[in-house]
Amino acid sequence: MLSIDKNRPPAEWIADLRRRFPCETEIDRILTSKLNRRAGPGYSPVSLETLSNGVKALLQQELKEPFEVVEAKWLSGGASKVQMEFKLQWNEPGVGRTTTRMVLRMEPAESAVETSRLREFQLIKAFEGILPVPKAYWADAEGKYFPYPAIIYGFATGVTKPTGSVSNVSGTGINFGPALRPIIGAQFVDHMARMHTMDWRQADLSAFDVPALGTQAVEWQINWWERVWEEDSNEDIPLMRFAADWLRQNMPPVDRLSVVHGDYRSGNFLYTEHDNRITAWLDWELGHLGDRHEDLGYALNLVHAHKSEDGKTVLYNGFMPKEALFEAYEKASGLSVSPKIVDYYRVLSTYKLTAVCIGSTYRIARGGKSHQDVLLAWLIGAGYVIAEDLRRVLKEV
């Protein structure tokens, strides 16, 4: 069916994609690596024992004192990475002998979003003390100790949704209920504001390229996701072609560079039910330097929204209508919101998510490349909901 066999990508095709869609250095590295590995074997199950041994091997290099890795077990949640919880009995610097619950987060052979563990590690580190994030301990960015690249961070307690409530896979469509809505919603906005106003120049973000003010940050994002669409999609979708062209024709200049989370939504934070406080923001793998409006546009995706009890009002991320989100964000951040630019990023974010949910999930399940292909095959369905969102936004702008 294809003129290019994307399951066995030729070297000249990979080189052509790199030339046509220039991205940040680290993004280019991981996307190229993905394609170079693609013709190789699918994902084979990895045992808890193998991962525990990987942790031990890594820590033997990192720690001088004796330690024990105990009580390893699988964690579910997310559509992208293999996750194992364990306890480390160790002599923690500055603390002494202690037992710490930790999480190992490792890539499968191919991920729904192919990203850099080093970037994820650096971003979590950068936000320690600024936002509730897990403590980042170690990164194995090249997969030296594990079958694939991995990071280790502290276990954060909490839930992604009220106990007993239901949502679809990967935490889409969470309903927090009327009582909890304003409490968590206020933190959702406040944390976004803190993230966007954080002085990233003081942090070690060596795995990130710094775009020039203007349209470079936007262009890198378009290139990243159009490249992913080219690399992973099976059948073409003319709407995606139209959207990519529209995005290039209408790039808004960035007036201020912020750290952008890239997947800022319900389902990607934990909160504790006894005090309703957000305890950890997770999934930093899509983070980059760019325009604050990008996270706002992403927050308006309909796949992460539901209607309120009146059956009419759309509550984005299960919290509030669009206007209320903008008003609260401006108040919390002191930064202006341009609804027109937010609309631009609604197009970009729905384009990106469609590329992931219809393109990447298909390609991975087709190649047997992950630990949860059946979930990814299910997630393709979310892609069509998002594509419909994309179509509607394009009709409005």
Partner 1 sequence: MEIRPAIQIQAMIKSMIDVVLPAVDPEHKMAQEQAQLIIGTLKMMGQRLPLQFRYDRKELDEYVALSVELLKQMRGSEKTQSAMKELGASQVEGAAVLDRARAEPGELETAVFDLRAKVGALVKAVGADGEAASRDALKHLILDAAENQLQRELSWQAALGYSDPAELQPIENLIGVSPAR
Instruction: Please give the residues from 375 up to 394 whose contact with partner 1 meets the rule CB under 8 A.
Output: 376-378, 380-385, 387-388, 391, 394
Using CB under 8 A as the criterion, what x/- string covers residues 37-76 for binding partner 1? -----xxxx-------------------------------
CB closer to partner 1 out of 63 and 380: 380
The binder of partner 1 chosen from 236, 275, 310, 323 (CB under 8 A): 236
Q: Which listed range, 17-25, 288-296, 314-322, 372-380, lies at the site for partner 1 (CB under 8 A)?
A: 372-380
> Residue 359 CB, nearest distance to partner 1 (Å)?
9
The reply on whether position 82 binds partner 1 by CB under 8 A is no
Using CB under 8 A as the criterion, what x/- string covers residues 102-141 for binding partner 1? ----------------------------------------
**Burial class of residue 310 in the structure, from the number of CB atoms within 10 Å of its CB (0-12 exposed, 13-18 middle, 19+ buried):** exposed
Cα end-to-end distance, the chain, whole Å: 35
Contact 229, 359 (CB under 8 A): yes
CB closer to partner 1 out of 238 and 334: 238
Spatial neighbors of 219 by CB under 8 A, at least 6 apart, are 248, 251
The reply on whether position 303 binds partner 1 by CB under 8 A is yes
Contact 263, 301 (CB under 8 A): no
The reply on whether position 151 binds partner 1 by CB under 8 A is no
Cα 359 to Cα 227: distance, rounded to the nearest angstrom: 11
CB closer to partner 1 out of 76 and 202: 76
- Looking at residue 321, the DSSP 8-state letter turns out to be -
DSSP line for 160-213: SS-TT----GGGTT----TTTHHHHHHHHHHHHHHHHHS-GGGS--TTS--PPT
Cα 248 to Cα 251: distance, rounded to the nearest angstrom: 6
CB closer to partner 1 out of 173 and 211: 173
Neighbours of 65 (CB within 10 A): 9
Cα 364 to Cα 382: distance, rounded to the nearest angstrom: 16
**Burial class of residue 75 in the structure, from the number of CB atoms within 10 Å of its CB (0-12 exposed, 13-18 middle, 19+ buried):** middle
The reply on whether position 330 binds partner 1 by CB under 8 A is no
Instruction: Please give the residues from 242 up to 281 whose contact with partner 1 meets the rule CB under 8 A.
Output: 242, 244-245, 248-249
Q: Which listed range, 63-71, 122-130, 216-224, 359-367, lies at the site for partner 1 (CB under 8 A)?
A: 359-367
Write out the residues near partner 1 by the rule CB under 8 A.
1, 42-45, 168, 172-173, 234-242, 244-245, 248-249, 303, 358, 362, 365-366, 368, 371-374, 376-378, 380-385, 387-388, 391, 394-395
